[in-house]
């Protein structure tokens, strides 16, 4: 139930949904005063949520700092969290989203011997495509590019971040007591993910990938020209805000 409710909730927290809803209220309201109010608020919200400077400021405060590769220690397992791919049944090929940086960084960590084994955590995060088990596809991908099977472990039951932690612990069993773990995920996601792993008794070191934020730029368009991509980034960030609070109430972190 928590899984289904969370999917519906994440639709409602999208800033573009708020803006469109206010525009509809403005369109159909019979009161001229309310029409102006709804229209004004929708325009202000649209500017706020498409402003690069505002988005970058909020995202930078939330994201976990990235680490230089040479500053990373050596770990028994690199735990790679899913949520980076799609699958085309017609061509029987996987497609990667922006968060594929998680996978690319994991491969580099393995090749440079910072991690001995790759542990992939991720089942199906879809309500409809329950058979699309991400960890299976990612494991096959790693095998095709030459990573030996003995160095790849997976869990395929998890549907969300908390279950990532729960089923990682279930799969590794007693190995969690005498092994070291590097938790690899997108920078915006690591704050919540690391607390989930700590909650189930797996202490990890965070390795941030796929960062959205960066230093401020002294450019006119950065401060004043709307940028539609910021709407997507706000949706991601608000999802993390809400997810963090929801996980706290559910005692997942």
pLDDT single digits (tens) 168-227 = 999 999 999 999 999 999 999 999 999 999 999 999 999 999 999 999 988 999 999 999
- Record the pTM: 0.89
Mean pLDDT of 54-78: 96
Which of 251, 135, 133, 134 has the alpha carbon at shortest distance from 200?
251
Mean pLDDT of 233-241: 94
| pLDDT value of position 245 | 92
Under 8 Å CB-to-CB from 30, ≥6 apart: which residues? none
How far apart CA 16 and CA 224 sit, in angstroms, is 19
| pLDDT value of position 132 | 78
Question: Domains in the chain, ordered, with CATH?
Answer: 2-63+227-249 (no CATH), 69-209 (3.40.50.620)
Banded pLDDT at 90 (limits 50, 70, 90)? confident
Decide if pLDDT at 1 tops 60. Answer: no
Residue 73 CB neighbours (<10 A): 10
Contact call for residues 27 and 150 (beta carbons, < 8 A): no
| pLDDT value of position 7 | 58
Burial of 158 (0-12, 13-18, 19+ CB in 10 A): buried
Contact call for residues 247 and 192 (beta carbons, < 8 A): yes
**Residue 109 structure tokens:** 């960590």
| pLDDT value of position 209 | 97
| pLDDT value of position 14 | 86
**Which residue reads 């494991």 in tokens?**
139
Which of 102, 221, 202, 218 has the alpha carbon at shortest distance from 162?
202
Decide if pLDDT at 4 tops 60. Answer: no
Under 8 Å CB-to-CB from 203, ≥6 apart: which residues? 181, 197
Decide if pLDDT at 127 tops 60. Answer: no
Lowest mean pLDDT among 101-110, 141-150, 178-187, 211-220: 211-220
| pLDDT value of position 228 | 93
Give the HSE-up count for residue 9: Cα atoms under 13 Å, Cβ half-sphere. Answer: 14
Mean pLDDT of 14-19: 90
| pLDDT value of position 222 | 94
How far apart CA 247 and CA 243 sit, in angstroms, is 6
Backbone angles phi, psi at 167, to 5 degrees: -80, -20
Average predicted confidence (pLDDT) for the chain? 91
Decide if pLDDT at 76 tops 80. Answer: yes
How far apart CA 166 and CA 107 sit, in angstroms, is 24
């Amino acid at each position: 139930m928590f899984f289904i409710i969370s999917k519906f909730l994440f639709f409602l927290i999208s800033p573009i949904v708020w803006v469109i809803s206010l525009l509809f209220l403005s369109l159909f309201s019979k009161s001229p005063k309310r029409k102006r109010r709804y229209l004004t608020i929708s325009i202000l919200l649209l500017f706020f949520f498409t402003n690069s400077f505002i988005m970058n400021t909020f995202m930078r405060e939330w994201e976990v700092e990235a680490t230089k590769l040479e500053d990373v220690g050596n770990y028994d397992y690199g735990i790679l969290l899913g949520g980076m791919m799609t699958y085309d049944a017609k061509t029987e090929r996987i497609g990667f989203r922006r968060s594929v940086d998680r996978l690319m960084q994991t491969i580099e960590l393995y090749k440079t011997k910072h991690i001995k084994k790759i542990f992939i955590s991720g089942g199906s995060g879809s309500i409809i495509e329950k058979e699309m088990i991400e960890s299976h596809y990612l494991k096959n991908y790693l095998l095709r590019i030459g990573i030996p099977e003995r160095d790849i472990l997976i869990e395929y039951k998890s549907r969300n971040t908390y279950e990532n932690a729960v089923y990682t612990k279930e799969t590794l069993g007693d190995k969690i007591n005498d092994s070291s773990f590097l938790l690899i995920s997108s920078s915006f996601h690591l704050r919540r993910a690391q607390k989930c792993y700590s909650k189930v008794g797996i202490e990890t070191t965070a390795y941030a990938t796929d960062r959205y934020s960066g230093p401020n730029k002294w450019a006119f368009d950065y401060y004043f020209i709307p940028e539609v991509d910021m709407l997507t980034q706000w949706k991601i960030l608000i999802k993390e805000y809400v997810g963090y609070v929801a996980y706290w109430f559910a005692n997942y972190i």
